[in-house]
Amino acid sequence: MNPLIVACSANTPYGPGLRKCWEGLMAGRSGIRSVERFGEGQFISDYAALVPDIPMKTGNRLMELLGPVLENLPNSLPPEIPLFLATTTGQIDLLEQSVEKGSGQIESSSPLRLLGELRQLTGIRGPARVVSCACASSTAAVARAASEVQAGHAETALVVGCDAVSEFVYAGFSTLMAMSPQPARPFDRDRDGLTVGEAAAATFVMNPSQAGAGKYQPLAEVLGWGYTNDANHMTGPSRDGKGLKRAIEIALDMAACAPEDIAFVNAHGTGTVYNDAMEMKALRQVFGDNPKPAYSIKGGTGHTMGAAGLLEILLTAESLKEAIIPPTVGMDEPDEQAQGWVKTEPVSVPANRPALSVNSGFGGVNVAVVLQKTP
């Protein structure tokens, strides 16, 4: 019995709720905006995808992002379930404040502190873990939760993915020349970088026997997952795409799926020259030269880092439910390698076949997950 993704809650640059994000992407709207700069920094970009109605310097932005997500979770689950928190930098604005004031309270920014706060806020008393692997963190957290459920170590697990746009992250991506001076254009022939974004999302990964009573709405079945590492470069992906190809193959193998079974791909698609080229190479190696419908959400949501994978898994489930995928927002003219794969318009897809969601990140990490609509 495969684990299920059950119920979800999200807060994205389109506002609270996954549906707003879905509708914005389907309409081709972007949540990326020109933002007020942090301090006096001279950054490459003025753009970010921020969750609306949160002041830029709020003191603890991540908790502001998480508030509506936690409020909308079902509260009738047993408290002893495990909790998986995925994040790259956690409450990094607390570290910023500590450094600026010289207070030495840097531990307050540790993700373990955030984990403790989440346990208090959710009332969960089961085993709690921080899972992190750069921009594939929440994809890995879903895979870890699914492993625990499949192995019978838990009936249900809560997965939370979150990261906020901070001066720390903005300055870091800027100095690596990873940011586009314009809103990100994933898979576009003229793409020139990513746009940072922020989001928080949560879902339950559940044994089907727990969801079977109709109390909870199953969103998708998790058929398989695969993790690999390029072992090639600290910030750039392997040019040959073989690491991501291997992660996809491991996930397909676990899912007992052939490449031709896959209906569509929710790609990582950051908008950087190297990531998108690597990803197309990997997809072409797995699927051959017969293009699969594919899309990236990051021209709409920005690159939401530790939240990206979970958000994309939830949107993949939405695509399976609706039998349609959104356009790749921000893309005008696809790169030669991406032609036939990504579109500027929504594309109908078969709902009764599995789908693939993939993420990669700094350090060369790759995680792939295969999902299927629940019967």
Partner 1 sequence: MTKPDSSVPAMISAGWVRPRSGGHWTGDACDEAPVADVNELFTKEILNHTNVKNHGRFPDGTRAVCSACALALKGAGLWPGDQKRPNTGLLIAGYDHTLMQNCSFFQDYIDNDRIIARGQLFIYTLPTSAVAEAAILLKAEGPLLFEESGKAPFANLLNVGEGLINSGQAERMMLVWQNTETTLCGLLDGTSAGASGNSNQHLITIAQKWNNPVDGIDFFRDQTSGRNEKERTT
SS3 state at 208: helix
Taking CA atoms, 45 is separated from 30, 39, 61, 189, in Å, by 16, 14, 21, 19
Residues 135 and 341: their CA atoms lie apart, in Å, by 23
Q: Using the 8-state DSSP alphabet, how is residue 37 labeled?
A: P
Taking CA atoms, 311 is separated from 133, 144, 218, 277, in Å, by 16, 16, 16, 22
Q: Which is nearer to partner 1, 220 or 250 (CB)?
A: 250
364 touching partner 1, by CB under 8 A: yes
First and final C-alpha spacing in the chain:
13
In the annotation, is 21 catalytic? no
56 touching partner 1, by CB under 8 A: no
Q: Which is nearer to partner 1, 257 or 365 (CB)?
A: 365
111 touching partner 1, by CB under 8 A: yes
Taking CA atoms, 58 is separated from 61, 64, 94, in Å, by 6, 8, 10
Which amino acid belongs to residue 198?
Answer: E
In the annotation, is 162 catalytic? no
Taking CA atoms, 301 is separated from 117, 308, 325, in Å, by 26, 9, 15
72 touching partner 1, by CB under 8 A: no
234 touching partner 1, by CB under 8 A: yes
Please identify, among the stretches 15-23, 110-118, 205-213, 343-351, the one whose residues bind partner 1 according to the rule CB under 8 A: 110-118
Please identify, among the stretches 15-23, 123-131, 279-287, 346-354, the one whose residues bind partner 1 according to the rule CB under 8 A: 123-131
Please identify, among the stretches 14-22, 193-201, 241-249, 327-335, the one whose residues bind partner 1 according to the rule CB under 8 A: 241-249
107 touching partner 1, by CB under 8 A: yes
156 touching partner 1, by CB under 8 A: no
Nearest-CA neighbor of 269 among 343, 202, 201, 168?
A: 343
In the annotation, is 153 catalytic? no
Site string for partner 1, 344-363 (x = CB under 8 A): ------------------xx
Q: Which is nearer to partner 1, 25 or 254 (CB)?
A: 254
Please identify, among the stretches 35-43, 155-163, 281-289, 292-300, the one whose residues bind partner 1 according to the rule CB under 8 A: 35-43
Q: Which is nearer to partner 1, 27 or 35 (CB)?
A: 35
Nearest-CA neighbor of 205 among 223, 186, 185, 227?
A: 223
Residues 70 and 77: their CA atoms lie apart, in Å, by 13
**Options 48, 95, 201, 325; binder of partner 1; rule CB under 8 A:** 95
Contacts of 14 (CB under 8 A, 6+ apart): 20, 21, 23, 24, 25, 29, 31, 300, 301
**Options 7, 32, 140, 329; binder of partner 1; rule CB under 8 A:** 140
Note the residues at the interface with partner 1 (CB under 8 A): 38-42, 88-89, 92, 95-96, 99-100, 106-107, 109-112, 115-116, 127-134, 140, 144, 147-148, 150-151, 167-168, 171-172, 174-176, 226-235, 243, 246, 249-250, 253-254, 362-365
The catalytic residues are 135, 268, 303
